[in-house]
Amino acid sequence: MPVVILILGFALLAQSQPMTPPVLAEYVKANYTKYEHRIPMRDGKHLFTSIYVPKDSSLSYPFLLSRTPYSCAPYGADKYRPNLGPNELFAKSGYIFVCQDVRGRYLSEGEFIEMTPHKPVKRGAQDFDESSDTYDTIEWLLKNIQGNNGKAGIVGISYPGFYAVAGMIDAHPALKAASPQAPVVDLFMGDDAYHNGAFYLAANFGFYTSFGKKKTEPELPDPGARRFDFGSRDGYDFYKRLGPLANADEKYFKRESSYWTDLLAHTTYDDFWKSRNISQHARNITPAVLTVGGWFDAEDLQGPLRLDAALEKQSPSTRHTLVMGPWVHGGWARGEGDKLGSVSFNLKASPWFRENVEFPFFEFHLKDKPDPKLSRAIVFETGSNRWRKFDSWPPKGEAKNLYFHAGGRLSFFPPVESETPDEYLSDPAKPVPFVGFTTLGMAQSYMVADQRFASSRPDVLTYVSEVLSEDLIVAGPLKPKLFLSSTATDSDFVVKLIDVYPDDYPELGGYQQLVRGEPFRAKFRESFEQPRAIEAGKLFELNYSMPDICHVFRPGHRIMVQVQSSWFPLVDLNPQRFGDVPNTKAPDFTKATQRVFHDARHASSIGLTSIPLAP
């Protein structure tokens, strides 16, 4: 009787208000029984899996699966996770929650392969991948876990998001819903590792110092493992002292991290990276898909957008929704999502998503609850700070170009006469920092950070529009088209789109908010597979796409574009000499004079799409 009263009390409390972590932990223990299994795969390897089954056996429940390289701890049937599912609504509703260590991680057998390449054709038991492991897991669950309703869903954020994508390819018939959230999709093409050929140094160094060495036998997490000691709180200083990338292995990794070694051994878009592009296999997807991402995700902004585009093109009959909110990496799963750094969004975007999109999506597809009728794209419009719904993404609109002009002017009108190009000196010994404050790692707030510190530097070109008299809503990718020359044989060019607040704006007067920034390593201007040196002093053209935005530039604001050749230590230093960057020696780093042309024949610009105001 006391147990029944306890359970009832928790249930009533859950309906009335959000649970605090301790209360939620007690709710999980009171309402779920935990089991641990080693589920056999088709090749005979066993994957450790923890399963939480509702104690109320009067109902049947769907499976909600998460597969991870980050551990299903705590281990032990009597040790419970403090929360279950993507958010607390799921534990209250009742699901069979399944967490699985992927191959070669912690208590699972086999070899861990980073971003396991998908095998479209499987001829036998030894032809396995993450898709088949997901299939085999669901098949075993259906046959061995009582009380299931015959349906399964899969969800994951970041690396687990990759496993969610892999699981929905060649999916088990019982898999009815999948939600890849900030999924890693193509490491070289704009995800964690490389952006247009430029290596994201701070994020990758920080990650691989803690991700660990390859394991040969199943083992528990090491509670005594020490975090890497940078010996500094200043990342700019630490990475400057690091010097050429090759020094990282010698000084810190000691060639014991094969993952880090692979990153620097494959600096072009070769077969190593191509085989790990999971989006190319997103064909004929049968589960419904909810893809989630954040406009300010410093790690995996491009993954959701790339996956969504692949589904639209390769699997048009799949029911899929894209959600992009004002979030950092995983910000929708926790907290309020109402601000980032100095920028406020004036509403609680994260709870709204959890309650009105994520939970109803799974309830409908796995429990036959009412259809939430989600739009094709549910997108947060920054600047106006409101949600918008679209029938397609990117939405249709009017293509425009913002042109550079002499005197640092920016306008929608192209130059009509000869103008002297602007130039600056790029010095690898004095790189442009990516933020104007001291930080050790990749500070997530850099994605909305004030750019006034950069505007004052002589190695940053700044172009500014007149004050806007009406709203300008920009949605979709940004497309720089630059006419350049350099005294170097290779260089990086970083383009930043910035919203300049009025001087009298409350608390943020004159704030130069970064809306989107993206680098490009010039040797890849013609091909990511076969880089080609710049001909020193000769004019060349650089065209590329920056990740999507949905932003309103308000009346009284101005639009700014900046161009620079370093963004340190977010991006590694380009020695500005053509060759293999990781193995370039310190004496080979050289200064370069960069020129940006903006005359009638060579009109440098940034392309964008403007859309109408919301009705």
The arithmetic mean of pLDDT across residues 589-606, rounded, is 98
Amino acid at 57: S
The mean pLDDT of 580-588, rounded to a whole number, is: 94
- Give me the mean pLDDT over the 597-615 stretch: 95
pLDDT for 571 equals 98
Tokens of 134: 């997901």
What is the spatial distance between Cα 41 and Cα 447, in angstroms, rounded to a whole number?
42
At residue 157, the pLDDT reads 98
How far is residue 556's CA from residue 472's CA, in Å, rounded to a whole number? 11
Residue-wise DSSP of 210-251: HH----SS-----TTPPPP--S-S-HHHHHHHH-STHHHIII
Q: In the predicted model, is pLDDT for residue 105 greater than 90?
A: yes
Per-residue confidence (pLDDT) for residue 227, from 0 to 100: 85
251-255 contacts at long range (C-beta below 8 A, 24 or more positions apart): 252/209, 252/228, 253/208, 253/209
**CA pair distance 445, 254, nearest whole angstrom:** 32
- Across the range 557-562, mean pLDDT stands at 98
Least confident of 216-220, 272-276, 344-348: 216-220
Angle, helix 159-168 to helix 130-144, in steps of 10 degrees: 80
Flag whether pLDDT at 6 surpasses 70: no
Q: 174, 167, 108: which is closest to 139 by C-alpha?
A: 174
pTM here? Answer: 0.95
pLDDT at 2 over 50: no
Residue 373 CA: distances (Å) to CA of 168, 267, 356, 358, 365: 21, 43, 11, 12, 11
pLDDT, tens digit, 9 for 90 and up, residues 456-512: 999 999 999 999 999 999 999 999 999 999 999 999 999 999 999 999 999 999 999
How far apart are alpha carbons 41 and 38 in whole angstroms? 9
> Token pair of 82, please?
């403090």
**CA distance to 197, 444, 581, per residue, from 611 (Å):** 31, 28, 41
Tokens 């390819």 identify what position?
Answer: 169
- Whole-angstrom CA distances from 32 to 6, 288, 589 are 13, 27, 60
Structural domains in the chain, CATH included, are 2-186+276-390 (3.40.50.1820), 398-610 (2.60.120.260)
Please tell me what DSSP assigns to residue 466. Answer: P
How far apart, in whole angstroms, are the C-alpha atoms of residue 72 and residue 148?
A: 21
Whether residue 74 has a cis bond before it, omega within 30° of 0: yes
Confidence of residue 21 (pLDDT cuts 50, 70, 90): confident
614: confidence class by pLDDT, cuts 50, 70, 90 = confident
State pLDDT tens for residues 124-177: 999 999 999 999 999 999 999 999 999 999 999 999 999 999 999 999 999 999
When mean pLDDT is compared across 81-95, 213-227, 563-577, the lowest value belongs to 213-227
Tell me, what's the pLDDT at 212?
67
pLDDT tens readout for residues 388-446? 999 999 999 999 999 999 999 999 999 998 999 999 999 999 999 999 999 999 999 99
Where do we find the tokens 């000499």?
577
- Which of 203-212, 309-318, 364-373, 600-609 shows the lowest mean pLDDT across its residues? 203-212
Contact between 263 and 199 (Cβ < 8 Å): yes
Residue 416 and residue 396: Cα distance in Å, rounded? 29
> Is residue 4 pLDDT above 70, yes or no?
no
Mean pLDDT score of the chain, rounded to an integer? Answer: 94
Does residue 439 sit in helix, strand or coil?
Answer: coil
403/410 Cα distance (integer angstroms): 6
Residue showing tokens 């130069």:
512
Is residue 268's pLDDT more than 80? yes
Share of the chain above pLDDT 70, in %: 97
pLDDT at 250: 87
Looking at the predicted structure, is the pLDDT value of residue 10 above 90? no
From the list 368, 361, 372, 373, the residue with the least C-alpha distance to 149 is 368
| Residue 369 to residue 93: CA distance in whole angstroms | 11
- The 3-class SS string of 32-45 reads EEEEEEEEECCCCC
Token pair listed for 419 = 């103008």
Q: What is the pLDDT of residue 17?
A: 54
Spatial distance between the Cα atoms of 370 and 380, rounded to a whole number of angstroms = 24
For residue 341, what are the CA distances in angstroms to 353, 449, 503, 513? 21, 7, 19, 11
For position 18, what pLDDT does the model report? Answer: 67
Phi then psi dihedrals of residue 258, to 5 deg: -65, -25
CA neighbor of 279 nearest in space, from 353, 176, 188? 188
Mean pLDDT throughout 324-336? Answer: 97
Report how far apart, in Å, the C-alpha atoms of 179 and of each of 166, 168, 320, 471, 595 are.
Answer: 11, 9, 10, 34, 45
Q: How confident is the model at residue 3 (pLDDT cuts 50, 70, 90)?
A: very low
What is the arithmetic mean of pLDDT over 449-461? Answer: 98
Looking at residue 519, what is its pLDDT?
Answer: 98
Q: Is the pLDDT of residue 364 over 90?
A: yes
Helices (H), 169-324: 201-211, 235-242, 246-248, 258-265, 271-274, 302-314
- Report residue 130: phi and psi, to 5°: -70, -30
CA distance 388 to 380: 6
Tens of pLDDT, residue by residue over 33-72, are 999 999 999 999 999 999 999 999 999 999 999 999 999 9
**Is pLDDT above 70 for 13?**
no
- Tally the C-alpha atoms within 13 A of residue 366's C-alpha that lie toward its C-beta: 29
In this structure, the strands spanning 61-68 and 96-101 are parallel
Per-residue pLDDT, averaged over 242-258, amounts to: 89
